[in-house]
Amino acid sequence: MAEETTKQVIEDDPIEVRKAKRAALIEAGENPYGHAFHYTHHLTDLDEKYASLEDGASTEDEVDVAGRIMAKRVQGKIAFFELRDATGDIQLFCRINALGEEAFAALCDLDVGDWIAVHGAMMRTKRGQLSVAVDSFELMSKSLRPLPEKFHGLTDKETRYRQRYVDLVMNPEVRTTFERRFKIVSAIRRYMEDAGYYEVETPFLHAIIGGANAKPFITHFNALDRDYYLRIATELPLKRLLVGGFEKVFEIGRQFRNEGMDPYHNPEFTTMEAYEAFGDLNSMMDLTEGCIKAAAEAACGTLKIEYQGTPVDLSGDWRRASMMELASEHAGEEVSFDRSVCNGYHSTDKQRYDKVGEAFTRASGRIRSLMARRLSWRVAPELRFMLDRSVDTAERIAGALARESQRPPVIVKEEEEGE
């Protein structure tokens, strides 16, 4: 009775079922975690090489490929597997006649998630699916945990962030993001080296924090019996290298800030920081433009990219403008750091325009002194009060629309044919 209960528990638990299969392999003298395997092709290479292979055609070209089983379908004496490696997917076409009964049964007993290596010939099914006709296989690694159900995939954001390795398995587009990041970092590094910059590595542990206004992570250094801080910026160590005689230095490194966390802010992140002796703002703008163009070319293959649905053209010479210039353009009036004058806008009924304006002017001295105390400025700005007519404009537009809606419709008679 106890044995039957145990058997029922194992059959109901997919992890226990897989553990039992692994134990059976070990007991039979087989290693469930494989060995070195030399594949002949990546799967995307096969897609390119046999793109012109006609439907229903077979070849004698033998290949060795390896990957993870993502799906399987057994139909009597034939089985189909979907195999995925680091580059893409391919179908495995397995027949009992080619493998033999024992090997075919062992192959069909594999689980989705298992890693296998196969040998076979290239073919294309009558339905147009490029496939490997398998004549032998090896188990490379037994998977003990089932993958998320394929139809629904991995959609929970919390799981995707906390188990990024599962996210990579189930969502191939995430791999593209990782690959582009690698290309971006490599392109920036090459660009900086070509520009004469030395790449350096500065300490992660700081006795005194600096370089930014942020809350640090604190750790205890046992050998010195004192607290140290994980760096919040690379600025100060890089500047010390300039003091030491280096002319151009940069670092691509991790920063740690013990602050809030959301989808756009991580307590651990990577920055690229660079410093140049004998340079100025213009040389830094040249460097920034060059880095971004190099990264875009490497990651996207073009300078005309799309960001969150908006097309962006990075080609040509970039416009250079101050923050105040750009703010003034978008505000529709001059924006400045100049605190000598402050414009205040007010709105009221048409009948009270003059009275309200005069009242603000009389009270300007009082308002100015209150501003000085609240803002802790050494010199309070001169106040200029201006009328905001946006309410009047809105009322005129609403009135015009109301009058138009009350007008009788205009009926236009259709002209007779030929007129």
**Which is more confident, 275 or 146?**
275
Please give the Cα distance from 154 to 167 (Å, whole number).
Answer: 7
CB 63 within 8 A of CB 121: yes
| CA gap 213, 196 in Å, rounded | 30
Asked if the model's pLDDT at residue 264 lies above 70, the reply is yes
AA letter at 180: R
For residue 406, what are its two tokens? 């009350």
Q: How many CA atoms lie within 13 A of 186 on its CB side?
A: 9
Q: Which pair of tokens denotes residue 134?
A: 């398998």
Tokens 């995939």 sit on residue: 153
The per-residue pLDDT of the chain, averaged, comes to: 89
Predicted confidence at residue 393, as pLDDT, reads 81
Return the pLDDT at 103. 95
pLDDT in tens, 176-189: 889 999 999 999 99
Q: How far apart are the first and last CA of the chain?
A: 98
CATH architecture of 324-405: 2-Layer Sandwich (3.30)
| Residue spans per domain, the chain | 14-141, 174-313, 324-405
pLDDT of res. 6: 47
Q: Is the pLDDT of residue 5 over 50?
A: no
* 215 C-beta neighbours (distance < 10 Å), count: 13
Percentage, residues of the chain above pLDDT 90: 62
Q: Looking at the DSSP assignment, which residues form a beta bridge with residue 62?
A: 121
CATH class for domain 174-313? alpha beta
- In this structure, are residues 290 and 303 in contact, taking their beta carbons and an 8 Å threshold? no
User: Is residue 137 over pLDDT 60?
Assistant: yes
Secondary-structure class of domain 14-141 per CATH:
mainly beta
**DSSP-derived secondary structure letter, 265:** B
Q: Distances in Å between the alpha carbon of 219 and those of 52, 222, 230?
A: 60, 9, 7
Confidence label for 152 from pLDDT (cuts 50, 70 and 90)? low
d(CA 408, CA 358): 45
Q: Is the pLDDT of residue 128 over 50?
A: yes
The mean pLDDT value for 132-154 works out to: 85
User: Rounded to 5 degrees, what angle do the CA atoms 68, 73, 76 make?
Assistant: 135
Burial track 363-381 (b if 16+ CB lie within 10 A, e otherwise)? eeeeeeeeeeeeeeeeebb
Predicted pLDDT of residue 1: 47
* More reliable by pLDDT, 26 or 160: 26
Torsional sign, CA 58, 63, 64, 70: negative
Residue with token string 């205040």: 344
Evaluate if residue 417 carries a pLDDT over 60: no
> Which residues 6+ apart lie within 8 Å of 57 measured at CB?
123, 124
Residue 188: what are its φ and ψ, rounded to 5°? -65, -45
CA-to-CA distance for 92 and 74, rounded, in angstroms?
Answer: 12
Least confident of 133-137, 291-295, 377-381: 377-381
- Compute the average pLDDT of residues 130-143: 96
Span 196-220, average pLDDT: 94
For residues 419 and 404, what is the distance between their CA atoms, to the nearest angstrom? 32
pLDDT reported for residue 358? 86
* pLDDT higher than 50, residue 2: no
Higher pLDDT, 393 or 327: 327
Considering only residues 171 and 314, tell me which one the structure prediction assigns the higher pLDDT: 314
Regarding pTM above 0.75, the answer is no
- Confidence check: pLDDT of 285 > 70: yes
pLDDT tens digits, residue range 318-375?
A: 999 999 899 999 988 877 777 777 888 888 777 787 888 888 888 888 888 888 778 7
- Between 75 and 35, where is the model more confident? 75
Name which residue leads in pLDDT, 379 or 248: 248
Contact predicate 21/98, CB 8 Å? no
How sure is the predictor about 7, in pLDDT bands with cuts at 50, 70 and 90?
low
